């Protein structure tokens, strides 16, 4: 019944089913929500997003100011200014570009500006790598942005639409980063159902209920705050980020109802009765883990996957609830936190979440797919077998497992 209703909703909303890369899907979403200002600087693997947007603007399909700036630092700075003036804005970057933007990341969240940015993740130099992983995105983790990690081109499209609603919500007013796998998604063509723009615009009306730069009613944005004020103003922003989770869930619910989809802040795949759970993020890790879970189930292992879709604020309660009955868990990281007790950054987040809930579990930290090192579904299947072994022996690694590393 619910499924039939969802299908009929989509029949009305879907304009066409296209073969798009995640980058093009991002550009189509930006077109659909009707932005005012786009500023960006090209960098692999992001470039095709802004190429497509430049094409849309040149053809008159998007009525926006397109600023071809001289660097990523300027790209984000330009949209900070435009957003402060009340414009709906978009930018995109990756890798060194995101690093170059880094100081402005904190400015955007500190000034509570509803900026939306797409980031197909890429490994950082040195050595120089153009290939995908999540190091750039992980480094942006503490900059106070809401961070969604998508796992398909359709999800990139839908997430960017949702992102504008989330960012502009007066209970939130924070920038949103929609990230996904560089190359393995940014350059992968797959089916995307794009919606009639009138419906997208109905879902994303401009929400201008915030203070904006306007000469008719002057305010000052970006002043210095002495130590007596800085702490409180910063706390406002981190409080807003934490509280945004409920708003994000609410907007997910509205989106699902409106567009006939089924998104949540985490995705559970065959988890309910699972003994062995892989916690993943992004497209390649999650897709291959799901494929592996299917294979493992065929061979009698109760395997499941929990994919983290909302990374900041972290879905603590939802994640703990999803994994609390599992026997052994592994967290697959495609980024590193060098020098930490374990080198998998999201592993640490999962452990913290479990700790906060008083749940003790064997959890294994696994690093894989660094600089797009080939990840096979069978690698993940082998992980399930390893977890089964750990459950039987009660012994499991107390340090990060670097999969595929030549030793």
Q: Which pair of structure tokens corresponds to residue 47?
A: 């470039």
By CB under 8 A, tell whether 226 contacts other proteins: no
Does 181 engage in binding with other proteins (CB under 8 A)? yes
User: Whole-number minimum distance, CB 151 to other proteins, in Å?
Assistant: 9
**Which parts of 29-139 are beta strand (E)?**
37-40, 65-68, 89-92, 116-121
Site for other proteins contains 246 (CB under 8 A): no
Q: Which of 242, 262, 404, 395 is nearest to 332 (CA)?
A: 404
- Residue 152: partners with Cβ closer than 8 Å, 6 or more residues away: 22, 185, 190, 283
**15 is a contact residue toward other proteins (CB under 8 A):** no
Quick check: 189 binds other proteins (CB under 8 A)?
yes
Q: Please list every residue from 365 through 384 that binds other proteins, using CB under 8 A.
A: 374-377
Among 8, 12, 17, 246, binds other proteins (CB under 8 A): 17
Q: Find the binding residues for other proteins in span 64-123 (CB under 8 A).
A: 110-113
Among positions 256-295, residues that touch other proteins (CB under 8 A) are 283-284, 287-288, 290-291, 294
Size, binding site for other proteins by CB under 8 A: 49
Question: What is the spatial distance between Cα 272 and Cα 322, in angstroms, rounded to a whole number?
Answer: 7
> Residue 299 in 3-state DSSP?
coil
Cβ pair 30, 62 in contact under 8 A: yes
Residue 229 interacting with other proteins (CB under 8 A): yes
Residue 336 found at the interface with other proteins (CB under 8 A): no
**Nearest CA-CA partner of 269 in 293, 285, 288, 249:** 293
Among 211, 257, 359, 398, binds other proteins (CB under 8 A): 211
Secondary structure (3-state) at 407: coil
Q: Residue 52's closest CA among 147, 186, 163?
A: 186
Binding site for other proteins (CB under 8 A): 17-19, 110-113, 130-131, 173, 181, 183-185, 187-191, 210-211, 217-221, 223, 225, 228-233, 235-237, 239, 283-284, 287-288, 290-291, 294, 374-377
């Amino acid at each position: 019944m619910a499924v039939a209703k969802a299908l009929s909703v989509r029949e009305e909303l879907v304009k066409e089913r296209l073969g798009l890369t995640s980058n093009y899907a991002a550009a189509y979403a930006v077109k659909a929500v009707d932005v005012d200002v786009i500023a960006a600087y090209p960098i692999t693997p992001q470039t095709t997003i802004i190429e497509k947007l430049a094409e849309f603007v040149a053809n008159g399909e998007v009525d926006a100011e397109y600023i071809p700036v001289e660097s990523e630092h300027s790209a984000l700075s330009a949209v900070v200014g435009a957003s402060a003036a009340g414009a709906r804005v978009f930018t995109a970057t990756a890798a060194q570009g995101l690093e170059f933007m880094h100081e402005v990341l904190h400015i955007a969240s500190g000034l509570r500006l509803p900026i939306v940015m797409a980031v197909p993740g890429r490994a950082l130099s040195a050595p120089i790598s153009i290939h995908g992983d999540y190091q750039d995105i992980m480094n942006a983790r503490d900059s106070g942005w809401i961070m969604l990690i998508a796992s398909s081109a359709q999800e990139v499209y839908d997430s960017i639409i949702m992102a504008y609603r989330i960012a502009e919500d007066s209970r939130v007013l924070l920038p949103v980063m929609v990230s996904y796998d560089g190359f393995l998604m940014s350059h992968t063509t797959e089916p995307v159902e794009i919606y009639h723009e009138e419906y997208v615009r109905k879902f994303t009306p401009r929400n201008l209920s915030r203070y904006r730069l306007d000469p008719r009613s002057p305010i000052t944005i970006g002043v210095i705050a002495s130590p007596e004020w800085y702490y409180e103003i910063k706390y406002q922003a981190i409080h807003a980020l934490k509280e945004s989770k409920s708003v994000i869930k609410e907007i997910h619910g509205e989106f699902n109802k409106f567009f006939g989809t089924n998104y949540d802040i985490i995705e559970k795949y065959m988890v309910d009765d699972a003994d062995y759970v892989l916690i993943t993020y992004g497209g390649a890790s999650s897709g291959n883990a799901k494929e592996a879970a299917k294979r493992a189930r065929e061979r009698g292992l109760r395997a499941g996957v929990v994919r983290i879709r909302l990374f900041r604020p972290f879905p603590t309660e939802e994640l703990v609830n999803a994994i609390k009955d599992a026997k052994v868990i592994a967290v697959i990281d495609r980024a590193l936190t060098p020098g930490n007790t374990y080198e998998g950054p999201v592993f640490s987040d999962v452990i913290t979440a479990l700790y906060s809930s008083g749940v003790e579990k064997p959890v294994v930290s696994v690093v894989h797919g660094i600089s797009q090192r080939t990840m096979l579904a069978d690698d993940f299947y082998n992980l399930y077998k390893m977890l089964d072994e750990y459950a039987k022996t009660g012994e499991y690694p107390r340090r990060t497992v670097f999969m595929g590393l030549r030793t």
